Amino acid sequence: MISRRDYARPGAVVADAAPARRAGRRLWAEAEALLWVGPAFLYLAFFIAYPFVMSIYLSLSSARVGSPDWHYVGFTNFQRLFEDPVFWQTVRNSFIFTFGSEAIRLVIGLPLAFALNRSFKGKRLVQGVILIPFVIPIALSSLAWKWMFDSLYSVINWMLMTLHIIDYPWQWLGEPGLAMWAVIILNVWRGFPFSAVVLLAGLTAVPVEVIEAAKIDGAGPLRRFVYVVAPIVRPILFVGLLYSIVFSFTDFSAVWLLTQGGPYNTTHVFGTYAYNVGINAGDIGQGAAITLFMFPLLAVFVVIMLRGLRRE
């Protein structure tokens, strides 16, 4: 008997069917599949692929907010960017923001994952609470941080001064170097629960027997971690890390709401600078050129991820 599955599979050999009928069925399989996946791809073509191509076109044009006539201007927008010191600062900021946040998230997330990787009463509740910063809209929680970093009434300053860690109130959002720390702190706070959950998922994948065996062989905690746990956790961590990096690198709201890129452009990242130039200053062409600079790094990450996916 021929099961349905066989003639849905292109290239399946169906002995008694005429070639024409087989081709017809294959065509029908294609058409039927299109019926299922078509709407999604039509939508994505119009709202992701088309705008993406359009942003390349915009970056080569003199498009401005409110003016209907765009002219092709070649690479003028890119030329202007290369001569713009704020743009180079934005590039540097984006990398510091992304990789600084990521490093701290991991350093903070790892002990947390270990602490969560055992059974205790109320574990589910604790896990739920830890994830809250990741769930609450960043726009809303960033307001709390903006208030805690306030120039006059910062509660963080109050705590640090009471503990004699600092001896005058720091201007978290007003001083160039500190402002970058402030946006990184917010980004770490928002993202470390995700890092911890990913690490935890990795740790639970380590079989207890393997750890026990290493213990019996006389490996201490550090060696167990480096030689036994880390290699098993690595692939999971790797994918989680890439996701996390992509989202930090393309972030807009955390930086926008805390500093709007200031003071003196020292916290601008690609997203915020593009918004400032493209919407606030109305220079859509120039803004589009800025956003396109996110693409090379994204592409590198995507290639790495696709390789990982294919290996599975």
Q: Please give the residues from 148 up to 207 whose contact with other proteins meets the rule CB under 8 A.
A: 148, 150, 152-153, 155, 158, 189, 193-194, 197-198, 201
Q: Give the Cα separation of 166 and 27 in Å (integer).
A: 73
Q: Could you tell me which residues come within 8 angstroms of residue 253 by beta carbon, excluding any fewer than 6 positions away?
A: 138, 139, 142
Footprint (CB under 8 A) of other proteins, residues 103-142: 111-112, 114-116, 118, 120, 123-124, 126-133, 135-142
The answer to whether residue 4 forms part of the interface with other proteins (CB under 8 A) is: yes
Interacting residues with other proteins between 212 and 231 (CB under 8 A): none
- In the region spanning residues 27 to 56, those forming contacts with other proteins, defined by CB under 8 A, are 29-30, 32-34, 36-37, 39-41, 43-44, 47-52, 54-55
Q: Which two tokens stand for residue 63?
A: 């498009």
Contact (CB, 8 A) for 273 and 92: no
8 vs 219, beta carbon nearer other proteins: 8
Choose between 217 and 268: whose C-beta lies nearer to other proteins. 268
> Are 89 and 265 contacting, i.e. CB atoms less than 8 angstroms apart?
yes
> Whole-number minimum distance, CB 84 to other proteins, in Å?
17
Q: For the CB of residue 2, give the shortest distance to other proteins in the complex, in Å.
A: 11
Q: Least distance in Å: CB of 290 to other proteins?
A: 9
Task: Tell me how far, at minimum, the Cβ of 74 lies from other proteins, in Å.
Answer: 19
| CA distances for 282 relative to 53, 64, 292, angstroms | 20, 5, 17
Length of the chain: 312
Nearer residue to other proteins within complex by CB, 135 or 226: 135
Which ranges constitute the DSSP H helices of the chain?
4-8, 19-44, 50-59, 76-82, 85-116, 123-130, 132-135, 138-148, 155-162, 176-204, 208-216, 221-223, 230-249, 253-258, 270-275, 284-292, 294-311
Among 88, 147, 227, 264, binds other proteins (CB under 8 A): 147
The residue type of 164 is: H
Q: What is the DSSP letter of 122?
A: T
Give, as ranges, the residues between 230 and 259 that touch other proteins (CB under 8 A): 236, 239-240, 243, 246-247, 250-253, 256-257
Q: Give the interface size with other proteins as a residue count (CB under 8 A).
A: 100
What span, in angstroms and rounded, lies between the C-alpha atoms of 72 and 145? 43
Q: How far is the CB of 255 from other proteins (least distance, A)?
A: 10
C-beta separation of 146 from 258 below 8 A? yes
Q: For residues 58 and 228, which CB has a smaller minimum distance to other proteins in the complex? A: 58
The four Cα atoms 164, 165, 167, 169 give a dihedral, to 10 degrees, of -120
Which CB sits closer to other proteins, 102 or 251? 251
Closer of 54 and 213 to other proteins (Cβ)? 54
